[in-house]
Amino acid sequence: MPRRELPERTRLPIPISERFEFVSEKWLDAARTFIQEKLDARSGETPSGRFAAVETYTDAPPHLKCPNNVATVHIVIENGQLDVGYGEVADPTFHVKGDYNRSLVIGASVYEQLPERRERIQRELHHRHGAVLELTGSGFEGVNPELLKLLPGLHDHLAKRTVGNPNIQHKLQHLDVDIRAEEIEQNGYTVFEKAITEAFVDELNDDLDRLIAENRRGKAAAMLLSRGPLWEEVATHPQIHAVAQHLLGADCNLGQSIAFRKPKGVDTHQIHNDPPHPFTGELLCNVTTVWALSEFDEDAGPTIVVPGSHKENRPPDQDAKSRAMKLTMPKGSVAMWHGSLWHGAAIRERDGERTSLHNTYLRNWVRTWDNYLEIDPAILERNSPALTTLAGIDDLFGKNTYEGIDFRRLAA
């Protein structure tokens, strides 16, 4: 009998060996190589004139060993000569200044072919932190247009290879969510109030209309990481993702991404723990997030929780509901809880529907509900390595062959 081959898994768009941290030496090397190859490929005269970009990022992680934890880099092209390195230069065309971790959100966003994403990333970043980047310099007036033709594609080339800050505690602090991680550890849950703008909520609801229309089983849409750019951005929301990484490891996976519309009077969730729940004391295997895509007020049928119950290390008591409290929160907010927390959902008491998105994050060795191992490669191509890790493509779990583990797949 002929041997039936196992299905081919989606491969890494960028080898792990070619990934690097924001404004690290490898990041500079990649920028230098990209521009130099464009210069070398030009036919005709070398473009004259000067272009100089300087970027300064404060509160860089200590392990990068930048002076005073301030990372300053420059790219200068002058009369055909390229200079990429650390430090400032005189009379820059532009000089960008910002916080390292907040600026990294832009640096790791692939958007040159997705202008609506660029707009959305900047809008949401400003919503969370206010003005992030300060721009000064002499300006582009008078810069040879031929020099500017060397730059398109550079941002995405770097973003596709840029990994997040591996110092998770440093990232939590500078993204203003260290208190959220502490609340989950102490109380079992937290709420990120207005984590996204109402405009983003509207965009998600509009796309959800389309996805629910495709579902013959009811008012739900699942496997959302593979259903469109909006859901990719939600899964990698910098603050939410950072807290999940703190609790589950930097290489955590997205276990499930599903959205619901719940009508009045329906009892959807009794008090429970989220699987997997091995009840092994302090070992946390998963955290769940519920995104309020409509108002979560007293009558809306919001999530209910029993504070501190994650420390009980057992299934809920029979009277758990009598001790539960409602998690009310404005539209655009996100609740996150420890997988062992006793929780459920109240019954909606008024007309209309409650719309929510549930994203669950797991340790990378825990089985997922959603399977993204055969995810469309185009999705990975339009994102940073963060999404590849969430999809479970970076590790070797569940990717064996008849010949054994294919270690080459991580380098191909």
Same CATH topology for 20-160 and 168-410: the answer is no
Q: Would you state the pLDDT for residue 69?
A: 97
Confidence of residue 270 (pLDDT cuts 50, 70, 90): confident
Closest CA to 363 of 281, 262, 244: 244
Domain segments of the chain: what residues? 20-160, 168-410
pLDDT over 80 (residue 409)? no
Q: Would you state the pLDDT for residue 280?
A: 64
Kindly give, in sequence order, each residue whose CB lies less than 8 Å from that of residue 334, ignoring residues fewer than 6 positions away: 191, 192, 195, 196, 237, 240, 289, 290, 291, 292
Q: Would you state the pLDDT for residue 4?
A: 66
Q: How many CA atoms lie within 13 A of 139 on its CB side?
A: 2
Can you tell me the distance from the alpha carbon of 327 to that of 332, in angstroms, rounded to the nearest whole number?
14
Confidence of residue 6 (pLDDT cuts 50, 70, 90): low
Q: 213-255, pLDDT tens digit by residue?
A: 999 888 999 999 999 999 999 999 999 999 999 999 999 999 9
Higher pLDDT, 308 or 412: 308
Q: What is the CATH number of domain 168-410?
A: 2.60.120.620
pTM: 0.95
Q: What is the CATH number of domain 20-160?
A: 3.30.1050.10
Q: What is the DSSP string of 50-82?
A: EEEEEEEEES--GGG--GGG-EEEEEEEETTEE
Q: Would you state the pLDDT for residue 220?
A: 94
Q: 147-177, pLDDT tens digit by residue?
A: 999 999 999 999 999 999 999 999 999 999 9
**At 385, is the secondary structure helix, strand, or coil?**
helix
Its sign, for the CA torsion 48, 159, 98, 71, is negative
Q: 272-299, pLDDT tens digit by residue?
A: 998 776 666 678 999 999 999 999 999 9
Which of 57-61, 304-308, 393-397 is predicted least confidently?
393-397
Can you tell me the distance from the alpha carbon of 335 to that of 358, in angstroms, rounded to the nearest whole number?
10
Mean pLDDT of all residues in 308-331:
94
Q: Would you state the pLDDT for residue 1?
A: 57
